Amino acid sequence: MNLRKIIREILENASNLWINGGILLIKGKDFEDGTQPLYAVHIVNLMQLNRKKKDETEGAPAKMAILGDDLYRVILDDGKLRAAKIDWKNLGSISRTLKFNGRQSHAVTLNNNKTPLHWETLKYNYFPKMFMEMGNEIMNIPNIKLALGLTESFDTEKIWTGKEVNQHITNITPDHSDIPDYFMSKFIAPRKFKMQEVNLKSLLETDPSFKEYFDSGEERYDYDDVNEDDLNNELVVVDGTLLDGYSRASELLRRGEGVAVAFVAI
């Protein structure tokens, strides 16, 4: 048994495993490439659950963390980690995104894979301090893909042609019969664009058609058939109108996301 594992087991069995509001990192639903996003939450309680083996003998006890109401996505921005709060609307959204096996749960059992580094992170209740002291360890957690902040993810100064944006739409549309040729030729092709973060709730106010779609609850794709990567595909916005990305923007709004990256006409 290596030294790190011995230390972890000592910490996990200690009475001071966590402090009030301790931070728990949780891996989310797999991306298409098999990596996972990383989320964070303050816990409100930690309970020990006694378990039995199949032969009814005593098994190793498990620890279950009761999650607080505020959940965060761990983001890499300008080379530094930060936590971006997500305004979740219901427990179902939490369960699906954190892949709690379909359960509408506000609790998770601690284990080294699903809740990495919990024996260390639960001793912090302040994100900046945790990221400052544990940043390298967190960025080296196996099999995670950190969300990128504005300064990490794209060049905000680059000018994109309408032709390039139309090619983007073509590339990300699985069924080419769904490509909005009319809008692409009339409203996108003549314009130039920059990549920016857009306020999703503002789009509901500036685009009546998008608001009608969102309010209807209609979805073109079943959630389980959507890859997490697809939600990161850029929207296309022209003069306050969402021309591409109704489904992506709607799903992000239902998850409580406030902003998304978009090609915005200038």
Q: What is the pLDDT of residues 210-223, one digit of tens each?
A: 999 999 887 665 54
Same domain, 175 and 258: yes
What's the pLDDT score for residue 9? 52
Same-domain check for residues 113 and 192: no
Q: In total, how many domains does the chain have?
A: 2
Please check whether residues 167 and 228 belong to one and the same domain.
yes
Domain boundary among 117, 149, 181: 149
Residues 95 and 175 grouped into a single domain: no
Same domain, 22 and 135: yes
**What's the mean per-residue pLDDT of the chain?**
80
In a shared domain, residues 86 and 125: yes
Higher pLDDT, 8 or 121: 121
- Which residue has better confidence, 22 or 86? 22
Could you tell me if 122 and 141 lie in one domain? Answer: yes
From 123, 149, 175, give the residue that closes a domain.
Answer: 149
Q: Where are the alpha helices (DSSP H) in 99-187?
A: 118-121, 127-139, 150-153, 162-172, 181-183
Tokens 């909005």 correspond to what residue?
A: 180
Same domain, 70 and 200: no
For residues 170 and 249, membership in a common domain is answered with yes
Question: Span 140-164, mean pLDDT?
Answer: 79
Examine the fold and report which residue of 104, 126, 149 is the final residue of a domain before the chain moves on.
Answer: 149
| Interaxial angle between packed helices 208-216 and 246-254, expressed in degrees from 0 to 180 and rounded to the nearest 10 | 60
Q: Are residues 114 and 13 in the same domain?
A: yes
Average pLDDT in the 127-149 region? 89
Q: For 78, left (φ over 0), alpha (ψ -120 to 50), or beta?
A: left
Both tokens of 71, joined, read: 């959940």
pLDDT higher than threshold 90 for residue 241: yes
180-204 pLDDT, tens digit each: 788 899 999 999 999 898 999 999 9
Say how far apart CA 10 and CA 158 lie, in whole Å: 52
Per-residue pLDDT, 64: 87
Residues 44 and 122 in one domain: yes
* Residue 90 reports pLDDT greater than 90: no
Res. 104: pLDDT tops 90: no
Q: Same domain for 173 and 87? A: no
CA end-to-end span of the chain? 60
**Which structural domain range is residue 72 located in?**
3-149
Q: Check: CB of residue 244 under 8 Å from CB of residue 230.
A: no
Select the more confidently predicted residue: 166 or 231.
Answer: 166
Q: How many CA atoms are closer than 13 Å to the CA of 13, on its beta-carbon side? A: 8
More reliable by pLDDT, 205 or 53: 205
